Structure 1
Amino acid sequence: MEDIWSSWGPTKVQWSYKNPFCAIVTEKMVAFGKKMKERQIQEWQGYYINYKLMKKKVRRYAQQTEVGPEARWLVLKDFSRMLDTQIEKIVLFLLEQQGLLASRIAKLGERQEALQHQPDIPDHLDDIRDAYRTAGRDLLKLLFFVELNAIGLRKILKKFDKRLGYKFTDYYVKTRANHPYSQLQQVFKHVGLGAVVGAITRNLLDLQDRQDSYLSIYDHPALPLQDPIIVTIRAAADRLTHSTNFLHFMAQHVLLMQEELPTPIDSQVDDQQYHFMSLFLNLVNTFLYMVNTYIIVPTADDYAMSLGAAATVCGVVIGAMAVAQIFSSVYFSAWSNKSYFRPLVISSVVLFAGNVMYALAYDFNSIMVLLIGRLFCGLGSARAVNRRYISDCVPVKVRLQASAGFVSASALGMACGPALAGLLQCNSRLFKLTFNQETLPGWVMAGAWLVYLLWLWISFKEPPRRSEENVSPAQQTHVESSENDFLENGLKQPLLLSLEGKKQEEDGDQEGDGSEECSNDSRLPVTSIASAYRLLTPSVKVQLMIYFMLKYAMEVLLSASSVITTYYFSWSTGTVAVFLACLGLTVLPINVVVGTYISNMFEDRQILLASEIMVCIGIVFSFNFIVPYTVVQYVCSGLIMFVSAEVLEGVNLSLLSRVMSSRLSRGTYNGGLLSTEAGTIARVIADATITIAGYLGESHLLNITLLPSLLICVSSIIATLCTYNSLY
């Protein structure tokens, strides 16, 4: 344990009720404890993690650590022993309940076997089937019990680190999780429960009337199960172990965050309010926008040169769209709090105008018109609206498919954009307008957005706003202003909290550390960038840094491809288009492989670190170390980099949704917006790097643009190693 002292040092936050920040933290801990108790199974309350006791211990520890290092050592010893005791209590109860369930299932199996040769089998089998379902419902309760305790453990470890400024979680997980007698694994991996899930699933499936089939769950794990209780059990088990499939892995890219605590029934969206055509129009918008983004990549350098600029100005031309998207994402995300239809209409109009200006720049012979056109295209980005629509207006039972559809539409758009550019090969004039490979992308996309606008106007149905989302502005303002008062001026309220907190510590039987209003306030969405930033823990910041890195590396690869391949290999526009289209087409197959197999074989954090290393290898091999620079080297290294970045994106956003506060799951400044902004800023910087590097000559462009990618990638790997155990 002494090894971790060197990394601890003085506490980051001196705990005191007079400290405004700590008063806010106390409110959030109170709210979580209240929500956790509400969702506990009443007859099992004595076997849950004692979050209330541990919360009070953390407060006392923070006061003791001001004394000196000796007190810190005692804090570590005491808190470790208390956590071990709490986990042992959970695990022993879990094993006891597993044994009871196993005994019931074994007796049911004996009854089922004894009835095989009796004439009145159907009636008795119905009774056995009902008994299995009852056992399944009890198993479901046990799964929720384990999940609630796992969340409580993660939460209290994070609170300990945050209040005292230590790295206790890193030490505790590292020493307990990998030990051969680890009880921590029992809670986080629910060791043994999988066998019970399998027994109930197999027997209920065998009791179904499938006379023409010899298949079992082992022959065909994806065999559709008709019994609802089995579907619910498998969903709960998958959520607990984070096991996944193709659809789950694809949906992770959307970063639709869930509530911190599990609920057996999730009915957030009324099925009657769901409108399929509106969802489909959102996915079409996503597809067209990605086509619009990448359709100019193969020809941007030629277009810039035809207007008298350098070929490397293509970086600015491509990046102008991302620059505008930084601002439009926030604006459209805020607008989607009130409407979905109007933002999509304005988005289509702005994109139509932007593409027309992009196409007309050739006849105006103006690089400025070209850039303004691309800026307009970025201002029309409605991806924040598309994400919010899936999160708020799609029923839970189809949300997974809708999320996967969003990612698939994006991937297809990325592939179709360059491919379409390769097909637009002509050179003609009509009504004094030029139609060639440079201008046709603009004209084609302008026409596509015009058709989409008409379709949207006719078919889109504005969904009703949910009452729970319509929290009064006064209430949100009150919450936010109170936090600001804590941080800037307000010492009076923390002093009052001090008296209340001390009184509550003395009363061991009272759960009400805070009012119901406090509990409700903690669930409100954040209302500013500043308040969103205060919710970002070191783990979240590292994951956002990783997302920035992968988007930066991908943008450098894609945006500079036309200039680099023309310089080194004399590739034509069509060849560049085929190369980029092939890269885009790898997205779906890679997600199938990772989502179906790899993600079930390894932990997300393991895949995350391995993918980062592979991205780094791809970047290193992309450098021009060998003269002459070969096509094989460029294509292979680019493929390694792109595929690894795609794998990395899925697990990165999955981990991000787990470590990010649930308050960022809704509202304007949600987790999806933060990740979008991080990726968009990365694209802007990458495109600017390409243009700046162009001033040193095209011969240096490759290595200069790859150097920042390498440095950022290495930094992200180091940061991942530093926070690796906090991703448990």
Structure 2
Amino acid sequence: MKKKVKRYTEQIEVGSQNHYFVLKDFSRLLDCQIEKIVLFLLEKQGLLATRLSNLGEQHHALIQQSDGSRISELQEAYRAVGQELLRLLFFVEMNAIGIRKILKKIDKRFGYKFTDYYVKTRANHPYSQLRQVFKHVGFSAVVGALSHNLADLQDLQNNQGNYISIYDQPAFSHPDPVIDSIKSAVDRLSNSTNFLHFLGRHAFIMEDELPTPSEDESLEQRYHFMSLLLNLANTFLYMVNTYIIVPTADDYSLSLGAAATVCGVVIGSMAVAQVFSSVYFSAWSNRSYLRPLVFSSIVLFVGNALYALAYDLNSITVLLIGRLFCGLGSARAINRRYISDCVPLKLRMQASAGFVSASALGMACGPALACLLQTKFKIYKLTFNEETLPGWLMALAWLVYLLWLWISFREPHCETKENLVPNEANAGQLANVTLENGYTQPLLMKIEAKQQDEDEDQERDDAEEDSQEIHKPVTSIVVAYRLLTPSVKVQLFVYFMLKYAMEIVLAESSVITGYYFIWPISRVAIFLACLGLTVLPVNIIVGKYITNIFEERQVLLASEIMVCIGILLSFHIFNPYSVPQYVGSALITFVSAEVLEGVNLSLLSRCMSSRLSRGTYNGGLLSTEAGTLARVVADEVRMPPRSKNTGNIRNNSSNGRNQQDENQELGMTKASHQR
């Protein structure tokens, strides 16, 4: 088909053919290719149905004879059929991606949306063969026969038999692994989703388009549950560390005598340092996971201690250095990389969902903890109050985490890290190599034609790479940038903007609520905690219902419109500027941006080159950098309150740092009278 597209281009350039002929001829050729796929698919399904029918007779005889000795043998026979079905699903997926790629190529070459025409005319036709490829028509019956027969044999093996039919109790606590693999392949092929998958996409841990049917033994050996738990704990603590200071950062900066404009710098300095730390931590994880995590914990301990000591040292410089250290200790790139490299495929989506859940809970727990730290006391010369306690608490937390990490973390084997190259004997990965070169080979080809295809594939088109380098990870940021197609760049920009909107809502909350509503720190912290707690319920609704009803492009557009509406509602247009207006606009903006993030990353993972699924400069690192830069910009452009109303921000912000308690109380009383 690629050769035909090139020939069409040459014919149109010399004027020997017109666009109408090209559309007609290309449609006919593509229909023929899809028909070959479907007929081959039906033939294989018939063979599988015959094997299942024969196994069904043996199954019935086994039940009649009550012979339990052959249960294991029959289970293995069913699993073998399941493996064949799984290979057939990989074949369909490979061809489905090939169809998408050739449609994309002809759209690019001729400059009009042939894909829209072709899909609309074929997708809903009663005799559509395209639906056989993209909607897995006919697979459900085979999967159903496999699943209920395996469950029936499992019940016989366990000597239960306490229900009339397998359909009365189809769910088992330990479903067969081959059934789980088949269901995952069917979901991936049809792009159907559930809450777990939708939530896991937020982690943006990319996988190959065609993973291997069997689990990689080396990956199983490297997996260690406690190490995964420690990575998730690191994610949680870092998000708590990021947002625990948001309600009090303005007060802290002003109490040290800094200008109001420095408040945004204090919050944003952590994100500035994270831009650089993500790169060197991602590169360090090529050689080790334990050492960079230990280094990260030490740096975060020092950073939080400096943040807390800045009060007694009366130094805004120490405060900023402490936050920079906290950003330099960001190990989110390692957390993502560990899940991608060391968690088996069957657990990777759960681990990704755990990563996102830990981040969301940390975002909610940070402000909530700040609300609980409303106290003041001194130990020797160290002051513990609502401004320094977040730093002391997080320093203690990172110290405990460091001890736990040193005792419990197990360094995985280093046999597959930066230079992870799949085994060429693996059929699934060979299919992926073929896929990345832009063509598929469901049937045998002549040597001359194959060589001609290989010659033509030297053209660089979007994310198509050379077959010898397709599984090599990206080694520089320049190469990574070259692999970003226009659609990927647009999605990264959308990700940047949604993170910018979310950070504006969170970071500006203390300034806006203090300036307009004179909220105390506790109320600001509760408000931020409530925003963070909306993440999981919103993802449940979107993941289980909305994305299965509407196309992702529709959800993307709707959520972008809602973010825009939330931003417009936040402007001070009507007097007075009310609490319901502010809370409503912040809620709409934050929730819509959260929905937009999940859909955006889902589309991004399907558009981005598979070379960016591994190595130092992977897709997760690029998305982290885009989100971090958005936070930097959002924090640095924060608008300070007017100088004449600075005293209205907090009760104690106008008091001098070195006053005695009596003078502080007097100053607070005067400030309240002025209000």
Alignment of 1:160-239 (within 5 A): 160-162=106-108, 167-177=113-123, 179=125, 181-209=127-155, 211=160, 213-214=162-163, 223-239=172-188
Inter-partner Cα distance in structure 2 for 1:620 and 1:215: 60
**Cα distance in 1 for residues equivalent to 2:554 and 2:210:** 25
Decide whether the 8 Å contact of 2:227 with 2:408 is kept in 1. Answer: yes
Q: Which residue of 1 aligns with 2:300?
A: 351
Which one-letter code corresponds to 2:115 in the other structure? T
1:406 is aligned with what amino acid? F
Q: Is the 8 A contact 2:205 2:620 kept in 1?
A: yes
How much does 1:676 deviate? 0.6
* RMSD over equivalenced CA pairs, Å: 3.5
Q: Is 1:301 matched up with 2:250? A: yes
Q: What's the CA shift string for 1:465-487, capped at 9, x where partnerless?
A: 12574379xxxxxxxxxxxxxxx
Amino acid at match of 1:416: C
1:61 matched to 2:8: yes
Which moved further from structure 2: 448-457 or 414-423? 448-457
| SS, match of residue 281 in structure 1 | helix
Which of residues 509, 514, 517 in structure 2 aligns to 1:569?
517
Matching of residue 668 in structure 1 with residue 609 in structure 2: no
Q: Matched residue of 2:301: which SS?
A: helix
Between Structure 1 and Structure 2, how many residues are aligned?
Answer: 614
Question: Cα–Cα, structure 1 residues 693 and 164, in superposed 2: closer, same or farther, change >3 Å?
Answer: farther
Instruction: Verify the 8 A CA contact 2:305 2:392 in the aligned structure 1.
Output: yes
**Aligned letter for 2:523?**
T
Give the secondary-structure state (helix, strand or coil) at the position aligned to 2:575. Answer: coil
2:29: which partner in 1? Answer: 82
1:140 and 2:81 correspond: no
What is the one-letter code of the residue matched to 1:608? L
Q: Distance in 1 between matches of 2:180 and 2:583?
A: 44
**Alpha-carbon contact 2:475-2:617 (below 8 Å) kept:** yes
Q: Which whole-Å CA distance do the structure 2 matches of 1:471 and 1:123 have between them?
A: 43
Instruction: For residue 82 of structure 1, give the secondary structure of its aligned residue in structure 2.
Output: helix
* Alpha-carbon distance in structure 2 between the residues aligned to 1:317 and 1:134: 60
5 Å matches for 1:507-656? 507-508=448-449, 510=451, 513=454, 519-656=467-604
Confirm or deny that 1:455 pairs with 2:416: no
Q: Percent identity?
A: 70
How far off its partner does 1:300 sit? 1.4
Where do 5+ consecutive residues of structure 2 fail to align?
A: 422-444, 459-464, 650-675
Give per-residue Cα distances to partners, 1:624-654, cap 9 Å, x unaligned.
3443333233323322332232232223222
Partner Cα separation in structure 2 for residue 346 and residue 629 of structure 1: 47
Measure how far apart 1:216 and its partner are.
Answer: 7.5
Counterparts of 2:119 and 2:397 in 1: how far apart (Å)? 53
What is the TM-score of this pair, normalised by structure 2? Answer: 0.81
Paired residues for 1:97-496 under 5 Å = 97-98=44-45, 101=48, 118=64, 120=66, 132-133=78-79, 135-162=81-108, 167-177=113-123, 179=125, 181-209=127-155, 211=160, 213-214=162-163, 223-267=172-216, 269-311=218-260, 313-467=262-416, 469-470=418-419
Task: Judge which range, 680-689 or 389-398, deviates more.
Answer: 389-398
* Worse overlay, 463-472 or 553-562: 463-472
Shift in Å at residue 376 of structure 1?
1.8
Could you tell me how far apart the structure 2 residues matched to 1:521 and 1:580 are? 47
CA pair 697-675 structure 1, distance change in 2 beyond 3 A: farther
Q: Distance in 2 between matches of 1:90 and 1:83?
A: 11
Q: Could you give the per-residue CA deviations for residues 343-369 of structure 1, whole angstroms, max 9, x where no partner exists? A: 222222222222222223323333333
Superposition deviation, residue 431 in structure 1: 3.2
Deviations 1:179-200 (A, max 9, x none): 5554333212213322432343
State the alpha-carbon separation in 1 of the partners of residues 164 and 531 from structure 2: 38
- TM-score (norm. length: structure 1): 0.76
Task: Indicate which of 77, 94, 101 corresponds to 2:41.
Answer: 94
Q: 1:139 Cα shift?
A: 2.8
Gaps of 5+ in 1: 1-53, 473-503, 702-728
Q: One-letter code of the match for 1:523?
A: H
Residue 555 of structure 2 aligns to a residue whose secondary structure is helix
In structure 2, give the amino acid aligned to 1:238. Answer: D
Q: Tell whether the 8 Å contact from 2:371 to 2:521 is kept in structure 1 after alignment.
A: yes
Separation in 2, partners of 1:655, 1:682? 20
Equivalent AA in structure 1 for residue 580 of structure 2: V
CA distance in structure 2 between the aligned counterparts of 1:563 and 1:246, rounded to whole angstroms: 35
Give the secondary-structure state (helix, strand or coil) at the position aligned to 2:467. helix
For residue 468 of structure 2, give the secondary structure of its aligned residue in structure 1: helix
Q: Please say if residues 301 and 312 of structure 1, whose CA atoms lie closer than 8 Å, have aligned partners that are also in contact.
A: no
